[in-house]
């Protein structure tokens, strides 16, 4: 019985240690850092530069795929750009994304709606769920497209060759 009690105490202490993270872990999480942590796209620099940095390293395109990174352009309202990881493709114009630093500084959001509002249906204009207003953003954001990690490209190629 004492051995089981010691195991329970050790498990409880281990659980508490998860909440006692160093102060650096409480720093505001940026979208680039978050995207690198949760995706297989490993680029550096500001989000606005990811599209160009991906050239020759990753496939890029205008169709959403799970695991791809949606790269937003730098704009007056968003000078450093933004990146988000596709969590789920709902249909050609609706996806769910995981990202950080959108609705509030450092806030991580998972499974939020992003909608292609471009006239051409090419994801060049996107509206994203904005938590403070509990609605899609009031203005569309300019996007460059999707950066596909090699794992997504390889699985798509395998599916195509099998079919």
pLDDT digits (tens, 9 = 90+) for 118-156: 999 999 999 999 999 999 988 999 999 999 998 765 455
Give the residue extent of every domain in the chain: 28-162
pLDDT digits (tens, 9 = 90+) for 128-138: 999 999 999 88
Three-class SS string for the chain? CHHHHHHHHHHHHHHHHHHCCCHHHHCCCCHHHHHHHHCCCCCCCCHHHHHHHHCCCCEEECCCCCCCEEEECCCCCCCCCEEEEEEEEEECCEEEEEEECCCCCCCEEEEEEEEECCCCCCCCEEEEEEHHHCEECCCCEEEEEEEECHHHHHHHHHHHHHC
Does the global pTM surpass 0.75?
A: yes
- The class that CATH gives domain 28-162 is alpha beta
């Amino acid at each position: 019985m004492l051995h089981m009690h010691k195991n329970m105490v050790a498990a409880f202490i281990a659980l508490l240690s998860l909440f006692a993270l160093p102060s650096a872990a409480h720093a505001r999480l940026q979208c680039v850092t978050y995207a690198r942590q949760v995706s297989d796209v490993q680029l550096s620099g500001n989000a606005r530069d990811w599209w160009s940095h991906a050239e020759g390293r990753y496939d890029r395109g205008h169709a959403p795929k799970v695991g791809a990174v949606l790269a937003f352009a730098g704009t007056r309202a968003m000078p450093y750009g933004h990146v988000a990881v596709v969590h789920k493709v709902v249909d050609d114009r609706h996806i769910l994304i995981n990202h950080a630093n959108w609705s509030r500084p450092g806030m991580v959001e998972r499974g939020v709606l992003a909608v292609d509002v471009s006239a051409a249906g090419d994801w060049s204009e996107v509206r994203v769920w904005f938590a403070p207003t509990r609605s899609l953003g009031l203005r569309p954001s300019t996007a460059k497209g999707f950066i596909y990690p090699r794992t997504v490209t390889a699985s798509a190629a395998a599916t195509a060759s099998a079919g």
